[in-house]
Amino acid sequence: MDLRKVGKFVLWTSIIAGVTWGALRLLLVKTWTVPSDDPALTSSIAPSLGPGDLVLLLHGLPIGFGDLVRCKDPDEPRRWVIGRIAGEAGDTVELNSSRLLINGRMADVDHACAPPKIKVPHPNTEGEVELHCDMEDLGGVIHMRAHGNPEGRAQSAPVKRTVPPNSYFLISDNRAYPSDSLTYGAVPTDSCDARIIFRIWSSKGFGDAERRFTWVN
């Protein structure tokens, strides 16, 4: 075996891989750390994400129905909100308890999570609450959804909204403690710059084997 040829092959492979990754980062992919200083956001993104997660953002490509996206906070443009696109311009979005209907059609629940109950952070305390978890199919995007009423609150009245032009209606994956378009309204489409696609690791670092290197649907 000619070691010089092997060495050249390894060198050129490394260079090509590095250039390819650099181009992807420049054009399509970048890393971002989910904010950990906003309790309402922290609660609303469970169980799909957690505060301090280091994630990959896919930007420069179209985003749409069912995608989990990052958008500028309508109330504070220097901050970000995270939500799932549940409605585009002209769509009618209705939420009745934990049931989500888009243009009169209910989003399908595919199956329960494993395990079917999870603990998520409460937005107003330092404790955790136990919620039900299942897999919701939103336009072919199957993702985790948390729901329940652990505090025995009175059931809120159904909410129905029509999405205005050039806007997205965002909904939280945690339906028990949302922070989404039900609170701050539909967001302009151009305020959403990227889709969240992959978690590199959680706030606990590389040692958190359960949550490192996981796709985010």
Would you list the domain boundaries of the chain? 23-215
CATH topology of domain 23-215: Umud Fragment, subunit A (2.10.109)
- Cα 74 to Cα 41, 59, 77, 96, 184: the distances in Å are 14, 20, 6, 24, 7
Q: Model's pTM, two decimal places?
A: 0.85
Q: Which two tokens stand for residue 108?
A: 């399908």
Tens-place pLDDT, residues 189-210: 999 999 999 999 999 999 999 9
Residue keyed to tokens 């749409």: 64
Q: Are 119 and 103 in contact (CB under 8 A)?
A: no
Render pLDDT for 34-67 as a digit per residue (tens, 0 to 9): 999 999 999 999 999 999 999 999 998 999 999 9
Check if the beta carbon of residue 67 is closer than 8 Å to that of residue 57: no
What's at 105, amino acid-wise?
Answer: R
* Regions of the chain where pLDDT drops below 70: 1-27
pLDDT of residue 60: 87
Cα–Cα distance for residue pair 89/82, rounded to 1 Å = 19
Question: How many whole angstroms separate alpha carbon 99 and alpha carbon 117?
Answer: 18
Tokens representing 137 are 């199919």
